[in-house]
Amino acid sequence: MPGAISQWFSAGDYLLALPMILLSIFALGILLIDLMLPPEWKSINAWTAGIGLAFSTAAVIRIHLAYARAGQGVLSYTGFMGSMMVDRFAIYFFYLFLVGAGIAILMSAHYLEIERENHGEFYALILFSVVGMMCMAAGFDIVLIFIGLELMAISTYVLVGFLRSDRRSNEAALKYLLLGAFSSGIFAYGLSLLYGLTGSTNLQLIGEHLATHMRENPHDPIAILALVTTSTGLFFKIAAIPFHQWAPDAYEGAPTSITGFMSVAVKAAGWAMLLRIFLSGLYPMRPIYVPLLVFVAIATMTGANLAALTQNNLKRLLAYSSIAHVGYMLLGLIAGSSTTPSATGIQGILVYLLVYTFMNLGAFAVITSLRRRDVIGDEIDDIAGLITRAPAEAVLMLIFLLSLAGIPPLAGFYGKYFIFLSLIETGHYQLAAVAVLYAVFGLYYYMRIANAMFMRKAVDTRPVTLSPAMATALAITGIATVGIGIFPDLFIRAAGWSLSIAQPLQLTSLFH
């Protein structure tokens, strides 16, 4: 409850952690059950993971209901001595992670059998990484955020290298591990400087101390050093240029379903952490970090869109496209005056992450379904003539691609719409113009894939077979991509509801 924090733990604390506790229990259960399963029954692991996600979702709904009952005034519940804050923002991200993980599991079930790597550990790692993501989204203490980040990252390193007989997968995992560990080190250094500056690990206290510090000493070099190192770590985790080098390699080598999972859920967790730190801990430094963000956003849009033009590997192309999307999303954080972020911009980022989850997972689901025993299926040539081999899939892929390009009335349009709207509202006309220009570049490389699917002859004419789980994943993502585009109201309101993070003024009043 907002108010004085009790000195002792209560049931409320554990309710807030319940989604994570349930996921951990189910992940441990999978590890135990997997030992007893004969090889033909391995699909039970996927079911167990799905049930775990369902239970966790139920727990999130229970917390959500507590907000509904408490009425409009209550914006956040804190637990565990203020180290965790499950506010509306965190709940929004909880749903996002659970949906992303659920669809990734649906995509994985049959794929792992083809790769002959169908082990329970895979699903356990996915669930554990969701626990880490929840710590990142709900962490209000930099210790918890950092440990959550490591939990997610280490699970992902292992998942990327899960295809042990595939050299690309091994190489990707090693590169990702080395660069990830390096960036975590820089990030931890920045956090330790923040702790040294403010004497606290709680984001709210860091914000308050930093505000007085910046008033007394607006260009303190240590504060700037802390800001630069912390944001380097954050940019690394969301793969913004110039800290993106790991992304194309890791995305290409990882099992395709994990590439999808990384590009949505892992990225959303990085964004949750970035928004939390920039908007609650570092908000007094906004005049300093906005120019930094402008540089990174422009570099990201330029570099990623140009690099994507020449890619022939579908996974690599979508990796660069996902970097480009990060560039657009960063614009939402830039929008606003030099001291306060624009609420529309933050809402735009949240909407963007939601629609991106569905459309990108959908595109990766189509690529995953092209995998066979003898065909990897991730080159542009493999998707050529898909319309004759699997008409329904080809049409779905076209929908996902158009949505990624931001064509109305599909879901992807609303993500870009809000970002550009916030830029124009707050007078950043040049940035909006640049972003629109790059969106046109995006259209070109998405249409290259579409061109291959519809205009070129198939190299391999065998029809594509879909497992029931994959069909479900495609149906969910397809319906969501079209549905959000046609009825955007509900989702935009959901993103608006979760905006508890946007205003620093509101943030300082949370505890009292």
Query: Contact residues for other proteins (CB under 8 A)?
Result: 9, 17, 20, 24, 31, 39, 79-81, 83-84, 113, 116-119, 121, 124-125, 128, 131-132, 135, 141, 143-144, 147-148, 150-151, 154-155, 157-158, 161-162, 164-168, 173, 195-196, 199, 217, 220-222, 225, 373-376
Cα distances (angstroms) measured from residue 74 to each of 66, 279, 363, 496: 10, 19, 38, 15
Query: Which C-beta is closer to other proteins: that of 252 or that of 412?
Result: 252
Residue with tokens 């040539």, as numbered in its chain:
381
The answer to whether 137 and 273 are in contact (CB under 8 A) is yes
Q: Which two tokens stand for residue 482?
A: 């079209």
Query: Which C-beta is closer to other proteins: that of 222 or that of 309?
Result: 222
Q: Give which of 155, 106, 383 is closest to 254, Cα–Cα.
A: 155
Q: Which two tokens stand for residue 67?
A: 């907000």
Query: Which C-beta is closer to other proteins: that of 115 or that of 416?
Result: 115
Q: At what angle do helices 246-253 and 167-198 cross, to 10 degrees?
A: 140
DSSP state of 456: S
The residues pairing with 332 across neighbouring beta strands, listed in sequence order, are none
Q: Which two tokens stand for residue 236?
A: 């690394």
The answer to whether 53 and 98 are in contact (CB under 8 A) is yes
Q: Provide φ and ψ at 341, rounded to 5°.
A: -75, 155
C-alpha count within 13 angstroms, C-beta hemisphere, residue 229: 17
Least Å from the CB of residue 317 to other proteins: 18
Least Å from the CB of residue 150 to other proteins: 6
Least Å from the CB of residue 148 to other proteins: 7
**Angstrom distance (rounded) from CA 333 to CA 83:** 25
Query: Which C-beta is closer to other proteins: that of 160 or that of 301?
Result: 160
Least Å from the CB of residue 202 to other proteins: 10
Least Å from the CB of residue 168 to other proteins: 8
Query: Which C-beta is closer to other proteins: that of 17 or that of 326?
Result: 17
Least Å from the CB of residue 326 to other proteins: 25
Least Å from the CB of residue 39 to other proteins: 5
Query: Which C-beta is closer to other proteins: that of 198 or that of 360?
Result: 198
Residues 6 or more apart whose CB falls under 8 angstroms from that of 242 comprise: 296, 299, 303
Least Å from the CB of residue 138 to other proteins: 10
Is 10 exposed, middle or buried, given 0-12, 13-18 or 19+ CB atoms closer than 10 A?
exposed
Query: Which C-beta is closer to other proteins: that of 199 or that of 427?
Result: 199
Query: Which C-beta is closer to other proteins: that of 150 or that of 393?
Result: 150
H/E stretch holding 130: helix 120-138
Query: Which C-beta is closer to other proteins: that of 31 or that of 188?
Result: 31
Least Å from the CB of residue 393 to other proteins: 21
Computed from CA positions of residues 264, 265, 266, 272, in that sequence, does the dihedral angle turn out positive or negative? positive
The answer to whether 98 and 130 are in contact (CB under 8 A) is yes
